[in-house]
Chains A and B, each alone.
Chain A
Amino acid sequence: MKLMQLLAVGAIVLTAPAALADKKSEAYVEAQANAVLKVLNDKTLTSDERSAKFADYMHKFAYMPDIARRVLGAQGRSLSEAQFDRYYKTFEEYATEVYQAQLDEFRGESIKVVGSTDPAPRRSQVNTLIKSTESGKDIQVVWDVLQSKDGQTYRVRDVGINLDGSVIWLAQDQQAQFESFLDRNNGDIDKLIDRIKQMIADMRERAKAGAASTLAKSTSKNPG
């Protein structure tokens, strides 16, 4: 009996630091993710205000320059400062548009933390569940989080969405696409910047068309 108690105490002592680290990163993800969702759901904001606030949260939640550099793969290390600045400005706009569109699926819902693991020192993967507004299904969203040196703050490196057992990591997938594009265009960063700009313009055009068609539908339903 004593041996069992000792083993139990030993197990608790050994697992306590990891569990504590998990709880802190879990609380961080839950608070920040729900704050972002609240912004998406805030009906008092205009579309531009919502985008601006969303971009602010993206900067608090993640460190965008690091993500921007990482998604370029090996090319990210060989760019001049001027090239990187030019690319970063475009990437930031693109990431805000894309992530806002991705998270819009969960508008009006809140995130619930269901557990986490610490795969390496200062790193956590936080598992959360959120209901999709479109399908009504609970979707598992995994947050790859880094802890600061002083243990006081966190940064999100990547977000994974589990679709029937297959996790799509947004930044990792973006990296695969950017690397492939650069490979096929002799590493020409300006071609990538032009392509991203084109995509931003297309996304905004479609968002405008979508908003106009929604407005037209609601006007025809409630004439006068």
Chain B
Amino acid sequence: MKTQSAALLLGSALALGACASTGARNPDDPYEGFNRKMYGFNNALDKAVLEPVAKGYRAVTNEPVRKGVTNFTNNLGEPLTFTNELLQFNVPHAAGTFGRFVINSTIGIAGLFDPATSFGIKRTDEDFGQTLGRWGVKPGPYLVLPFLGSSDPRDFVGWGADFGLNPVNYVQFDGADTLRVSNFVLGGLSARESAIETIDDVRQTQLDPYTTLRRFYVRNRAAQVRNSAPSSKPVEEVPDYEMNF
């Protein structure tokens, strides 16, 4: 059912994009017309709701509290990372993630603290979009989706699949639903709060923030699929006038 809804939404997004785009298509962004409209919508929503809420959250909390919230939501993300690392056949990372979850859930008091990092077990972060990338699935065209922001067909499918794959969604105990909702809300709030300066900076210093975000998203996801292996700049042709000195 979830997959059907996801496919329907994806299909609508693509169809709307095809209708909205006019003129010559940018090969890096064939649905630019639709994407820019969605970007405008998400941006307005962010300015009206998410940004003020994130700033309010920062105003009423101090750094240790925010750190605890980030640790808590990160810890609840470890089972999903673990599942994806297994699907990527990355056993060493999966073992590390499992270890982190056990240590932080116990010694770290339900994940509020992150002693695993102090023990030298670095945090990794994997989702099904990255798993598909590791399996060789191409990302497809860049998409901006309402409420969800930057994506592409591979990540959109991955986002839906992560709901089904996340062990946290199957745990049953009193208050489990409250925990899941809290995790979703706090995770979003924490992520938006930590990006206040970066997003401000992009809005204020970049001539075309949409293009900046698109390029950053595409590169960043490619780096995440590669597990952050350093990428060098493709050697581009240098025009003669630049070499003439």
Q: Which residues of A pack against B, CB within 8 Å? A: 63, 66, 69-70, 98, 101, 117, 119-120, 122-123, 125, 140, 142, 144, 146, 148-149, 153, 155, 157-158, 160, 162-169, 172-174, 176-178, 180-181, 183, 195-196, 199, 202-203, 206
Contact = CB atoms under 8 A, between A and B. Distances in A.
Interface string B213-234: 0011001101110111111110
Interface of B: 24, 26, 204-208, 210-212, 215-216, 219-220, 222-224, 226-233, 235, 238-239, 241-245
A205 B233 CA distance: 35
Contacts of A125: 232-233
A165 B242 CA distance: 29
Nearest to B220: A166
B30 to A, nearest CB: 14
B211 A165 contact: no
A155 B24 CA distance: 35
A181 B208 contact: yes
A69 B240 CA distance: 13
B211 A142 contact: no
A165 B208 contact: no
B103 to A, nearest CB: 24
A176 B215 contact: yes
Contacts of B241: 66, 69
A165 B212 contact: no
A166 B214 CA distance: 13
A49 B88 CA distance: 55
A70 B228 CA distance: 29
A155 to B, nearest CB: 7
Contact of B231 (A157, A165, A181, A206): A165
Nearest to A160: B233
15 contacts: A119-B235, A142-B232, A146-B243, A157-B238, A162-B230, A163-B220, A164-B228, A165-B228, A165-B230, A167-B233, A176-B208, A176-B211, A181-B207, A203-B204, A206-B204
